[in-house]
Structure 1
Amino acid sequence: MNCIRNSLEDITNFLNPYRVLVDSHMVNFFTHRLWEKHVPLSIRKEAEDVSVDEVLKEFLCFSNKDDSYPEKGSRCVEINKFVKNARSLYLSNFSKCLCLNELQTLMDSWGCTDCNIVLDQFFMSPKKSHEVEVTSSIVASMFKAFDCSHVVDVGGGKGYLSSVLCLEHKLKVLGLDSSSSNTSVATKRTEKMQKAWNGIRRRIENGGLSKRKGKHWKAKFLLNYKSNIEQSYNDKELLKEDSHEKNMELSQEFNVNNSSDNNDNVHIVGNNFKQVTYYVNHNSNLYDIVKDSFPDDCKFNLVLTGLHTCGNLASSCLKLFVDNKDTEQGCARLLVNIGCCYHLLTEKYPGTPSIKQSKIIERTDANNTEESGFPMSSYLCSKKFSLSYNSRVLSSQPIDRISKGNKCPSDALFYRALFEVLLQRHVKDSKENSLYCVGHIKCSTFTEYVYKALKKLDLQLEISEAEIHDILKDYKQYKDKLNVYFMMRVTLAPLIEAIILLDRLLYLYENGIEDAHLVQLFNPVLSPRCYGIIAFRKK
């Protein structure tokens, strides 16, 4: 526990001078003069004295530098120092954060059997396939080793993980989701999958569908994690989201003629896969929910899992795992949780939120009845530690993907900040400007951006093209500073995520869960929310 506390202290101490920077919003870059107010003078002077390409190279290509960098004569000493100190505190450098190979070694010592699987993009997007492959393999392996009886997939959504655990690993799975539409889709999707599963699995094995061809594809997946996906890093298609799958009808998605294999899987899914619409919180009675779904069973040693559980749901899962101790009917024996959507967390000690933050909090927690999701540990609670909404939004910035792409922010970020200047000029109550959520706009010029944004926001403002051209001319020289400011914030983003995850890990230790581990499960370029918490109670 001391190691976790020390890391939290190191991160928060380093972050303190930059809190105004991570608490800010890029929309206000010009209107609030963020460059002059929030960037330390030494970094500001250095960035203004050299080319923007040289500065951004320090942020984008730092991982390729050795410890001897900066070289003699470098003009980016202060910026390099900032980046190096920040990255030294990332979870990837935390001594207690495991990589997959280290987890596999531990799992071998726990007596876990190999339950690895290679999926195909036929079932889901490359990103989702990668996440489900790893998570399902870990859950299935530990399920058998720790004498578990049922898997509870919290926030299971469309049933990606649940269906694979049931169909491939033959586990009893209860999927829980608060959305009835998700529950319905998950059930229908799994019914379609079961009819095609055996045939498609054979075709994957024979290389008929899988893009991961090769005679060694069956090799131990976890131990070969890096080699299996490194080749995929260069495939730009892997960075696409699930859009292609969302546009497919279920009948087309699983249109594989494999009727000869239907009977076995229909039997398996009918008995083992259950889907329930249920809002999970820290007070949920897991045993009653599982009993109702599997009335013929009498022992309930549960695996509590969740693949990208949003906001407070991740915190609730940890609390449920701690509270559901050994009883005659069983216990919550295994936890495999990967959280996301940190901006949806409610805080125990919130500061004074902006108008925009208040509206979002009101919208996401209308009843204001849910227990806070951060902080969880008594250590941070004793400090009444808080994170702003903007900093929690920032924590989701995909720094590895940005570095891999070696790209600066798009023009849209610059256009949005300029648009805020126009709003301040033309909207009477300028304090309300931050309420305007423009979102993504496709455009080729700033003029096009302004008129599309006004139309999207239904604002009847008289803004001439001449005024638009003038403001673009006046502020264009500051675009480089905006890009540097953006990259400074992105460099600090993983520290916010580290605070949240280390706080959760420490909470488990403080509550007597000695076997708790933080693991980097996924490729961070493909799946930016790549860290999971794995904990268990021994038999």
Structure 2
Amino acid sequence: MSFSNISADSLKEKIDEVRRFLSVTLRIANAHTVDFYTRDVWRAFMAVEPGEVLTAVNAARDRTGAPEGNTSFGFCDVSKKLVDVSALLRAAEAHSLPGLGVCVQRQTLMDMLGVMDGDTQDGTSGGHLLQPDEFMNSKKAHEVPAMAEVVAALSRFCKVKQVIDVGSGKGYLCSFLSLQYSLQVFGIDCSSTNTRGAQERNRKLKKFSRAYQNHGQFKGNPEVQNKELIDRKENDDEQEERTQGHQRPRLSQEQEEEEGGAKERDRKKHVTTDCNNDVAEVQCCSSPGLDKSAFSDQTESETTNADLENSFFTALAPDIVEQASPRVPPCQLSAEERERRKRENLERKARDGKGNRDAKNLYSPLTSYVTAETELRTLITELEDAVMVGLHTCGDLAPSTLRMFKTKQELRAVCSVGCCYHLLSEEFDEDAQECESGVYGFPMSQYLREQACFCGRNARMSACLALERVSVGGGLPMESLFYRAVLHVILQDHYDSHKSEKRVGNVYSKASSFVDYVRRALRKLELDDSKLSDSVIQSYHDLYISRMNEMVAFNMLKVTLAPCIEGLILLDRLCYLKEQENVSYSALVQLFNPLLSPRCYAIVGIKGPGVL
């Protein structure tokens, strides 16, 4: 199989282009919004008016024109200030990942792997397609199927059946891969809370996965519905009679005869009512025009199983959710009942001990802090050749995933989508804290390490901004940023702790006004807010509100630079894989719609011969 593959030399040329652009513009991204007014950031960087910036940003389709002389990407070579907004915007677009032309589209990769659209051979459980929007939010419902399809294609190409999901979180991707594509998935997460939740989810999936996959067949067959309905009613009646038989006290002969007559009358009435309800319920299921509210209300009031409260299991048909029967104390059980339950337990354990086929398809959640040096076989005793994946792995976890892929022979392919770039450790950032392990998240490639490349924390935080969402009116939380910047002026003028290590945190969401915001922030910083009157605090707001458009325009420029900074980080990771001799193919793939999922790019790598 032959893959379209950008060469290492061409990739390095693209990296050099981005670095040249950021060498001029990175100062904007590294400017902190908190210091915006105390350091007069606008006048330090700009030789244009805020309105000119906002007009140019909004005129997305009219950025033509020759750049002014003695400028670099719109910045004056002498004053280093921005003088040509349109030139900056054109350059930013050209140095983003789409503008550089280095990305592979998801469908292109699928075609390369020989999996055509809609082809799920050997990939689905019983051919039933799961509907992820029934048990995920809209963002996850978009991300999980798209990434799962790529991971399944990689596993088939590499002829492996195991997947290791690093930073698995709540296990949405793991569940989908195991149920939809019959893969054995190991989810590793450092949070014990996530692992406990995943274990509970795994327990429920073992019970209901097969029923969920057959749910579509059940819904489409009224005869099966009627039969299941009758069987369920008979089983419920038998269970109720058996339970009542063990719970009721011994009665005298007269009491038994009297109760027997009443029970017979109630039984006839009960059978008549149940038959009518069954007929009506079947008619309701088969006739869309009938009102189902009466039956749904009755079902909701009678349901006590906590599983139904889980959003995932609300997607299941009511007939496949096991209803909890009343618990009978062991001392009240007869000898025959105790013997029967003991026999059933032994039979169930014998069945489970054989390792049925379905159990292997469900994922196993594990709790561990993973680094590049983690020995996977100590975590997974049954480890075979596998594909390693990570969906929005935070900070240094994404680089660690790629380093593990390089060093672990059993890992045949990798698909990694990173996020939280502000949590990355940087080797050559003098202001950053030293990494205890000595293994940094950026840069990864030897090419950029030789050049001592760094971005800075504020720039990496800017890389997390979503240009596509802002471009369609998503907007930024400008008022909260404005409040924080003016608060910093107040701290500088009236307090000695404006450089305190303490953080204000999310005070804005609880504040009813600017005055309330300042007082809440001062109390959180353990400062005396009584020394400032409301009128003094409000005067700061009134003084700077006319300059709020400066902050809006400046932050729009930071958003414009975000894709370029993210691009440098991702190109560094791709270059790292290009430098490895045991990696036959590597690519930067756009998996998601950036409007739905801003961190939409995946690093894909494959080992082994046969890939060009």
Interval of TM-score (by shorter of Structure 1 and Structure 2): 0.7 to 0.9
**What amino acid does structure 1 have at the position aligned with 2:57?**
F
Deviation per CA, 1:136-161: give whole Å up to 9, x if none. 11111221121113111111111111
Structure 1 counterpart of 2:150: 138
SS in 1 for 2:506: coil
Establish whether residue 315 from structure 1 lines up as the match of residue 399 from structure 2: yes
**What amino acid does structure 1 have at the position aligned with 2:393?**
T
Establish whether residue 463 from structure 1 lines up as the match of residue 547 from structure 2: no
Distance 2:214 2:522 in 1: 54
SS in 2 for 1:168: helix
- The TM-score, its normalising length taken from structure 2, stands at 0.69
Structure 1 counterpart of 2:10: 3
Asked if 2 retains the 8 angstrom alpha-carbon contact of 1:519 and 1:534, the reply is: yes
Establish whether residue 348 from structure 1 lines up as the match of residue 427 from structure 2: yes
Distance 1:520 1:189 in 2: 30
Asked if 2 retains the 8 angstrom alpha-carbon contact of 1:377 and 1:503, the reply is: yes
Deviation per CA, 1:105-156: give whole Å up to 9, x if none. 2222899953585633221111111111111111112211211131111111
Deviation per CA, 1:291-327: give whole Å up to 9, x if none. x1x2xx7xx21101111111111111111111123xx
Distance 1:126 1:97 in 2: 25
Distance 1:159 1:251 in 2: 19
- Pairwise mapping of residues 205-354 of structure 1 onto structure 2 (< 5 A)? 251-253=308-310, 254-255=313-314, 256-257=316-317, 267=356, 270-272=359-361, 273-290=363-380, 292=381, 294=382, 300-325=384-409, 331-353=410-432
Asked if 1 retains the 8 angstrom alpha-carbon contact of 2:208 and 2:320, the reply is: no
Distance 2:217 2:395 in 1: 38
2:136 to 106, 124, 143: 124
SS in 1 for 2:536: helix
SS in 1 for 2:516: helix
SS in 2 for 1:425: helix
Deviation per CA, 1:458-477: give whole Å up to 9, x if none. 43222211112211221122
Distance 1:401 1:97 in 2: 20
Count of residues in Structure 1 that have an aligned counterpart in Structure 2: 460
Structure 2 counterpart of 1:453: 521
Distance 2:542 2:131 in 1: 52
C-alpha deviation, 1:406, in angstroms:
5.3
Distance 2:153 2:182 in 1: 12
Q: 1:399 to 1:449 in 2, by over 3 A?
A: same
Distance 2:205 2:147 in 1: 19
**What amino acid does structure 1 have at the position aligned with 2:43?**
E
Distance 1:14 1:139 in 2: 34
The percentage of aligned residue pairs carrying the same residue is: 31
Q: 1:517 to 1:18 in 2, by over 3 A?
A: same
Structure 2 counterpart of 1:429: 497
Deviation per CA, 1:80-107: give whole Å up to 9, x if none. 2211110111112232201223222222
* Structure 2 residue ranges without an equivalent (≥5): 1-7, 67-81, 221-305, 323-347
Asked if 2 retains the 8 angstrom alpha-carbon contact of 1:394 and 1:490, the reply is: yes
1:523 to 573, 580, 593: 593
**What amino acid does structure 2 have at the position aligned with 1:94?**
L
**What amino acid does structure 2 have at the position aligned with 1:345?**
L
1:13 to 20, 23, 28: 20
Distance 1:497 1:205 in 2: 45
**What amino acid does structure 2 have at the position aligned with 1:186?**
A
SS in 2 for 1:276: strand
Asked if 2 retains the 8 angstrom alpha-carbon contact of 1:167 and 1:269, the reply is: no
Establish whether residue 413 from structure 1 lines up as the match of residue 485 from structure 2: no
Establish whether residue 499 from structure 1 lines up as the match of residue 511 from structure 2: no
Distance 2:118 2:163 in 1: 16
SS in 1 for 2:431: coil
Distance 1:28 1:206 in 2: 62
Asked if 2 retains the 8 angstrom alpha-carbon contact of 1:334 and 1:535, the reply is: yes
Establish whether residue 26 from structure 1 lines up as the match of residue 33 from structure 2: yes
- Pairwise mapping of residues 72-87 of structure 1 onto structure 2 (< 5 A)? 78-87=84-93
C-alpha deviation, 1:21, in angstroms:
1.6
Distance 1:158 1:340 in 2: 17
Asked if 1 retains the 8 angstrom alpha-carbon contact of 2:97 and 2:567, the reply is: yes
Distance 1:84 1:206 in 2: 56
C-alpha deviation, 1:425, in angstroms:
1.6
Deviation per CA, 1:245-289: give whole Å up to 9, x if none. xxxx86512243466599999955633422211111111122443
**What amino acid does structure 1 have at the position aligned with 2:602?**
G
Structure 1 counterpart of 2:287: none
**What amino acid does structure 2 have at the position aligned with 1:482?**
M
- What is the alpha-carbon root mean square deviation over aligned residues? 3.1
SS in 2 for 1:306: strand
- Pairwise mapping of residues 136-215 of structure 1 onto structure 2 (< 5 A)? 136-198=148-210, 200=212
1:102 to 108, 133, 141: 108
Asked if 2 retains the 8 angstrom alpha-carbon contact of 1:113 and 1:145, the reply is: no
SS in 1 for 2:39: coil
* Structure 1 residue ranges without an equivalent (≥5): 71-75, 209-248, 326-330
Distance 1:77 1:350 in 2: 29
Structure 2 counterpart of 1:246: none
Establish whether residue 484 from structure 1 lines up as the match of residue 553 from structure 2: yes
1:377 to 445, 453, 456: 445
Establish whether residue 534 from structure 1 lines up as the match of residue 612 from structure 2: no
SS in 2 for 1:430: coil
SS in 2 for 1:405: coil
Deviation per CA, 1:341-361: give whole Å up to 9, x if none. 1111111222224xxxx5xx8
SS in 2 for 1:514: strand
Asked if 2 retains the 8 angstrom alpha-carbon contact of 1:517 and 1:534, the reply is: yes
Distance 1:257 1:207 in 2: 8
Distance 1:205 1:487 in 2: 52
Distance 2:414 2:607 in 1: 9
SS in 2 for 1:275: strand
C-alpha deviation, 1:19, in angstroms:
2.4
Q: 1:86 to 1:124 in 2, by over 3 A?
A: same
Distance 1:60 1:286 in 2: 50
Structure 2 counterpart of 1:245: none
Q: 1:500 to 1:20 in 2, by over 3 A?
A: same
SS in 1 for 2:572: helix
**What amino acid does structure 1 have at the position aligned with 2:504?**
C
Asked if 1 retains the 8 angstrom alpha-carbon contact of 2:584 and 2:608, the reply is: no
C-alpha deviation, 1:422, in angstroms:
0.9
Q: 1:406 to 1:252 in 2, by over 3 A?
A: closer
SS in 1 for 2:31: coil
Structure 1 counterpart of 2:284: none
- The TM-score, its normalising length taken from structure 1, stands at 0.78
Distance 2:515 2:194 in 1: 40
Q: 1:189 to 1:204 in 2, by over 3 A?
A: same
Asked if 1 retains the 8 angstrom alpha-carbon contact of 2:395 and 2:441, the reply is: yes
Deviation per CA, 1:381-406: give whole Å up to 9, x if none. 00111121111111101111111225
Structure 2 counterpart of 1:397: 465
Greater mean alpha carbon deviation, residues 485-494 or residues 278-287: 278-287
Distance 1:492 1:386 in 2: 16
Q: 1:80 to 1:504 in 2, by over 3 A?
A: same
- Pairwise mapping of residues 20-59 of structure 1 onto structure 2 (< 5 A)? 20-39=27-46, 41=47, 44=48, 47-48=49-50, 52=51, 55-59=53-57
Distance 2:421 2:497 in 1: 30
